[in-house]
Amino acid sequence: MDTLNLFTNTVNNLAASGGGSSNITHIVTVLLIQIGIILIAAKLAGYVASRFLKIPSVLAEIGIGILIGPFALGAFPLPFFGPLFPLPGILEPGALPVSNELFSVAQIGSIILLFAVGLETNFSTFLKYSGPATIVALGGVIFPFFLGAYSSVLLGIAGPGGIWSLEALFMGSILTATSVGITARVLADIGKLNSSEGTTIIAAAVIDDILGILILSIIVGISISGKVDMWSVGTIGAKAIIFWLALTGIGLLTSKYIERFLNKIGSVEANIPIVLGLALLCSGLAEMFGLAFIIGAFSAGLAFSTTQIKEKLEHSIEPIKNFLVPVFFVVMGMLVDVSSIHTALVAGLLISVVAILTKVLGSGLPALAFKFNILQSTRIGIGMMPRGEVALIIAGIGLSQGIINQSVFTISIIMTIITTILAPLLLVPLFARDKD
């Protein structure tokens, strides 16, 4: 199912179901209650995670989503209300275990998240370390992609086409992801964000995400066309790259003029709707071109990262991000079928091993060629290891479009959680060796 079509389907369902305004009011009422519960649960879980468990709040948000979702507590009926998060009937391939309305809100959260990632990118630093970072990123994409796809064949989760099936290609694309936010947070906490390894990791992670999003766009395009041959792959790949370069180029060229316009008509804070409107517009255009909507959001953020109002924009969108992004992570947790966890656990652990080794070796070994020593190269490899939000977004797109099933999605969640937990635990003692 196309992401943009979720909105259309929601409207069509409302029209077909009858009931007029009363039906719409009921749907909105249920949605408001669901989002209210999600926000409260996400905040409390995040507080417990960061204060007592010392783990990223994103993991707690995923966990609470699993707990209160339609496959767990959310299925139990409440007095005078019924189930808080009921399953919408029989789940067919491509069908979601949450309502289209709730999933659409979550997708907007992912757009805001990727816009923020692009906005927070230091473009000058990115260009300065683009040489070694590009090689590190390429290794961190090629190794995980092909070994991830091959592993899915060995584990029996690939389609009839083997390594070239959509399921295998999608698993490979999930493994290419690197969480810029999680690694940056760890490096900032230990004062190593501006070190040579830290800067290389961040720049490589950005390039990694760009390449991963482009790969995702190609696979989404293949799923729409239904063709997996060299001509179709090349055509879709060229379209994705040209669109991204054009969108980013136009954004970088026009961002200064947009900045002047915003300054003339009012404060930055007052013009946030225009900025976010442009991000949503770019996302929609990417989807219309048959690409992943997040590539548009990231490009819009990257364009504004070069302006003098960057910091003001970051500050102004923070409340919006704090509102919508937790909804995304909690809903991602809700998509996990708890009954499939025990069957997906072994495969999830094996994929996690592949995910760890391919990043550590794929990104760490190329770093040796740029005069980083073994310890520094290991830090770089482990810094590229957490999959975090990007992997979840890719997995969510795959599930919503019927490319991967519930079991593969659960495997992806397990892998994301393991790599996201391990990276901070390993990075801190590795950087502490500088004091010895």
Q: What is the CATH number of the domain that holds 165?
A: 1.20.1530.20
The phi, psi pair for 77, rounded to 5°, reads -70, 140
* 118 token code pair: 């692009």
Tens digits of residue pLDDT in 34-73: 999 999 999 999 889 888 887 778 788 888 999 999 989 9
Flag whether 323 is in a domain. Answer: yes
Amino acid at 347: A
Query: Domains in the chain: how many in total?
Result: 1
8, burial (CB in 10 Å: exposed 0-12, middle 13-18, buried 19+): exposed
Tens digits of residue pLDDT in 179-220: 766 777 677 667 776 677 887 887 788 778 778 877 887 787
What are the residue ranges in the chain where pLDDT is below 50? Answer: 1, 3-4, 6-8, 10-12, 14-19
Flag whether 136 is in a domain. Answer: yes
Residue 142 belongs to domain spanning: 109-435
Flag whether 68 is in a domain. Answer: no
pLDDT of residue 226: 65
Flag whether 409 is in a domain. Answer: yes
Flag whether 75 is in a domain. Answer: no
pLDDT of residue 350: 95
pLDDT of residue 194: 67
State the Cα–Cα distance between residues 286 and 296, nearest whole angstrom. Answer: 6
pLDDT of residue 244: 77
CA dist 161 to 131, 152, 167, 350, 399, Å? 36, 12, 9, 22, 19
Flag whether 231 is in a domain. Answer: yes
Flag whether 30 is in a domain. Answer: no
Flag whether 90 is in a domain. Answer: no
Q: What is the pTM of this model?
A: 0.76
Q: In terms of DSSP H, where are the helices of 69-158?
A: 100-120, 123-128, 130-154
